[in-house]
């Protein structure tokens, strides 16, 4: 699922802060936290299901209702903001 994050064209070319872990003796990266830097401001980046009110770290269908999730960015102190 982490690869799906890097395939999202809306995030390509952006400055990202990605935290995660690499599994021992593999090259598998599990992304645990994503942020973007826009105009010098750090934003939390996540995918969100409005129906189930669940956050995800990768695009795709919601694991609960199977509807598409929406890419969101949330600067400090702001409500969830969809990404164009």
**Does residue 1 have a pLDDT over 80?**
no
User: Which residues, other chains included, contact 5 with Cβ-Cβ below 8 Å and sequence gap of 6+?
Assistant: 11, 31, 34, 57, 58, 59
Write the pLDDT tens digit of every residue in 2-26.
666 677 888 888 898 888 999 999 9
> pTM score, two decimals?
0.76
User: Which residues, other chains included, contact 43 with Cβ-Cβ below 8 Å and sequence gap of 6+?
Assistant: 35, 36, 37, 73, 74, 75
pLDDT given at position 31:
86
Domain boundaries, the chain: 2-79
- Give me the mean pLDDT over the 77-84 stretch: 58
**Does residue 84 have a pLDDT over 60?**
no
């Amino acid at each position: 699922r982490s690869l799906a994050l890097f395939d999202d064209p809306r995030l390509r070319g952006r400055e990202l802060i990605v935290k995660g872990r690499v599994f021992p003796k593999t090259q598998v990266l599990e992304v645990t936290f994503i942020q973007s830097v826009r105009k010098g401001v750090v934003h939390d980046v996540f995918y969100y299901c409005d129906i189930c009110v669940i956050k995800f770290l990768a695009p795709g269908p919601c694991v609960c209702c199977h509807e598409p999730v929406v890419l969101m960015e949330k600067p400090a102190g702001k409500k969830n903001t969809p990404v164009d």
